[in-house]
Amino acid sequence: MGFSGASTTDGSADPDAESALLLRQSPKPEDRFNLAYIIYFTLGVGILLPWNSFITAVDYFSYLYPEASVDRVFAVAYMVVSLFCLLIIVFYAHKSEAYTRINAGLALFVISLLIVPVMDAVYIKGRVGLYDGFYVTVGVLALAGVADALVQGGLIGAAGELPKRYMQAIVAGSGGSGVLVSVLRLLTKAVFPQDADGLRKSAYLYFFTSIVFMVICMGLYNLAHRLPIMKYYGELKIEAVKEESVEKGPITGPVWRATLWNIVGTVKWYGFGVVLIYVVTLAIFPGYITEDVHSSILKDWYPVLLITAYNVFDLVGKSFTAVYLLENAKVAISACVVRLLFFPIFIGCLHGPRFFRTEIPVSLLTCLLGLTNGYLTSVLMIMAPKSVQIQHAETSGIVMVLFLVLGLASGSVIAWFWVI
């Protein structure tokens, strides 16, 4: 909708319309030194780092609480709470600021990451079987799930209002989180003995690295909020919201619900693709990698190296969209359906010809699983917010995160029952 010649009912010029026209005609600020891109990539790393720290330290938690299904309980506590909170955020996003939600979430991440090592140092002290500590840890996971919903929903939503490269930066950063934790895992396995003391030191390293990183993320996010390019797109959104409110009235109550369902209807196929991606990936990885394949040559290094390979290729896939972005939604979603073939192929690595059960085929398939996961996730997360108007891009981004978490939760549940 243009603003040329806009006027009020008395024939005078409409100052809001004139300011909107001037804003859209003004040159876009440059992202000097790619600072905003680097910040958004770093924030993408931060989104998943707390979860990766908990799940990478699962060996230590399993040692402390041998009678608990630690990895499964952790996944349920984190993802179910995150999913529930995202539902609330979607319905009330128009009544809250992403800036506030993200800062609150980052602070909650720091608190949740700090509780575990402090509790271990003051109370647990490496002793086995103190299950009240386990219950506290699960509660902390739930708190981190709340933080995840606030931060991930807010950042993906905010990136949806920006040019495509910033969504790509967030998604690629999430891949970088897996690589960072994998490197830490390789380092701790090589340096620390795999006994109780070594596992405890490894867990401390994961948590304190994440705490420092989250504090850095808090500073960087508040810096990014003040950059000219971020202010420019923030003002564009404000003008778009004003324009819509003039046409439809205030976006509240029934109007907002109708708008929300229109947004969901617009991005539903992108969301369907994301759900499929993570149903396939989480049903196979990391359970298959850590429990079902074995190597007489690499021994207990085998699953660690496979997880690292997956994470590296996931990052490659998420980064490749900066070079080439597939903009055909039908092709991208069809590729998500084709990934279902990973199920019979990975079964073949266990029960097929002898060659398929060796390290090379399994490693290649693991890399391909990570590459396709990363690339297709990045494509769909970039495209979805651009299918709606800028004033609804944040909500569409939150809806896509909702689909993503739904896929993660579904894949984790299927992993319990999919016996290969």
pLDDT tens string 251-265? 666 777 888 899 999
Label residue 28 by pLDDT band (50, 70, 90).
Answer: confident
Please report the pLDDT score of residue 96 as a whole number: 82
Is pLDDT of 4 > 50?
A: no
Label residue 283 by pLDDT band (50, 70, 90).
Answer: confident
Label residue 17 by pLDDT band (50, 70, 90).
Answer: low
Is pLDDT of 8 > 50?
A: no
Q: Give per-residue pLDDT as tens, 373-419.
A: 999 999 999 999 999 988 889 899 999 999 999 998 888 888 777 54
| Residues of the domain holding 370 | 26-417
Q: Give per-residue pLDDT as tens, 265-277.
A: 999 999 999 999 9
Please report the pLDDT score of residue 1 as a whole number: 35
Report the C-alpha gap between 68 and 71 in whole angstroms.
9
Label residue 295 by pLDDT band (50, 70, 90).
Answer: confident
4 in a structural domain: no
Report the number of distinct structural domains present in the chain: 1
14 in a structural domain: no
Is pLDDT of 358 > 50?
A: yes
Please report the pLDDT score of residue 354 as a whole number: 76
Return the CATH number at 139: 1.20.1250.20
2 in a structural domain: no
Percent of the chain with pLDDT over 90: 59
Please report the pLDDT score of residue 418 as a whole number: 56
87 in a structural domain: yes
338 token code pair: 């084709």
* Mean pLDDT score across all residues of the chain: 87
Backbone angles phi, psi at 357, to 5 degrees: -95, 5
20 in a structural domain: no
Average pLDDT over residues 233-245: 80
Single-letter amino acid code for the residue at 239: E
13 in a structural domain: no
By the 10 Å C-beta count (0-12 exposed, 13-18 middle, 19+ buried), 354 is classed as exposed
DSSP conformational letter for 97: -
Backbone angles phi, psi at 377, to 5 degrees: -60, -45
Nearest to 359, CA basis, from 175, 342, 185, 367: 367
Q: Give per-residue pLDDT as tens, 145-179.
A: 999 999 999 999 999 999 999 999 999 999 999 99
Label residue 297 by pLDDT band (50, 70, 90).
Answer: confident
Q: What angle do CA 129, 132, 138 make, to 5 degrees?
A: 105
6 in a structural domain: no
242 in a structural domain: yes
Is pLDDT of 13 > 70?
A: no
